């Protein structure tokens, strides 16, 4: 037996040999696999897997994170599939599990992310590199000087306006760097009204670059609605990608100037 262990959902995964044909169903975990040195073992990724840009262009796209092309996956004959509870859809994962080993992550905070990186290192026989990545992440956050305790609302969608609430990785990142999520009283991802935003006594409205691609033009739109409000575009990948990109997140957070 090459590997026997549980994923982050508690499902037992058993592999008889080192995986050679891996499919990743999550962008941040795809980037991690490349950073672990597994480029030659990655057989398929999703259309949303955009990093590293010069390498993902050569990989087969098996659909989206919530809509898999099962016929194409079967053609690729993976010996390991790596997904995530939040980013993938339950029915699709259950269908894949009938035929392939599927390792699932379930991540709410930095500790969960580091645990995922460690376990994927064990799963793919890349423990040395996974330890290096985890050490880099832990050192970067340990050396990070917390931002001023500003009250923020983190927007992920427009029409309807949706914000990040509690029990999310993004909320844990906001807290990790010293910010106060004024909508942490809400669960997960919630629609909010203009009145709720106006009454929230927020210091900054943060417009994320993903999943909705907020840009500079949206700052102007928000400014019309909230003329006295401070508004900033933020890199959604730095707040929500829980793989090897976390090594560089604290350096980015330090530049926010909130």
pTM, whole model, 2 decimals?
Answer: 0.95
What are the φ/ψ torsions at residue 217 (nearest 5 degrees)? -65, -25
* Under 8 Å between Cβ of 117 and 96: no
* Whether residue 134 is found in the same domain as residue 183: no
Helix ranges, the chain (H): 27-35, 53-56, 70-76, 90-97, 110-123, 127-142, 169-176, 194-198, 216-225, 236-240, 249-253
pLDDT at 67: 98
Give the mean pLDDT of 138-165: 96
Cα separation, 123 vs 118, whole angstroms: 9
The domain in which residue 183 lies consists of 151-253
Structural domains of the chain, count: 2
Task: Say whether pLDDT at 201 is over 90.
Answer: no
* Whether residue 136 is found in the same domain as residue 171: no
* pLDDT interval class at 228 (50, 70, 90): confident
Distance in Å from the first CA to the final CA of the chain = 51
* Whether residue 121 is found in the same domain as residue 174: no
* Whether residue 156 is found in the same domain as residue 240: yes
Last residue of a domain, one of 141, 170, 185: 141
Cα separation, 140 vs 223, whole angstroms: 34
Last residue of a domain, one of 141, 171, 195: 141
Per-residue pLDDT tens over the stretch 206-215: 999 999 999 9
Per-residue pLDDT tens over the stretch 33-44: 999 999 999 999
pLDDT at 148: 95
């Amino acid at each position: 037996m090459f590997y026997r262990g549980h994923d982050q959902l508690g499902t037992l995964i058993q592999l008889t040999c080192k995986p050679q044909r891996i499919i990743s169903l999550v962008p941040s975990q795809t980037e991690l696999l490349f950073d672990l040195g597994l480029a030659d073992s990655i057989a398929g990724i999703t259309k949303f897997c955009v990093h590293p840009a010069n390498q993902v262009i050569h990989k087969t796209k098996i659909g989206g994170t919530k809509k898999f092309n099962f016929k194409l996956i079967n053609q690729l004959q993976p010996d390991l599939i790596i997904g995530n509870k939040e980013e993938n859809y339950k029915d699709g994962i259950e269908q894949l599990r009938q035929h392939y080993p599927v390792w699932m992550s379930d991540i709410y905070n930095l500790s969960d992310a580091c645990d995922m990186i460690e376990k994927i290192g064990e799963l793919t026989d890349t423990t040395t590199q996974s330890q290096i990545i985890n050490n880099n992440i832990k050192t970067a956050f340990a050396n990070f000087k917390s931002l001023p305790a500003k009250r923020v609302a983190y927007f992920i969608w427009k029409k309807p306006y949706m914000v990040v609430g509690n029990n999310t990785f993004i909320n844990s990142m906001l807290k990790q760097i010293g910010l106060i999520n004024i909508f942490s009283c809400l669960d997960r991802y919630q629609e909010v009204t203009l009145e709720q935003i106006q009454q929230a006594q927020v210091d900054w409205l943060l417009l994320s670059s993903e999943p909705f691609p907020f840009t500079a033009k949206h700052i102007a739109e928000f400014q019309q609605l909230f003329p006295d409000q401070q508004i900033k575009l933020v890199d959604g990948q730095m707040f929500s990608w829980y793989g090897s990109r976390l090594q560089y997140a604290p350096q980015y957070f330090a530049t926010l100037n909130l």
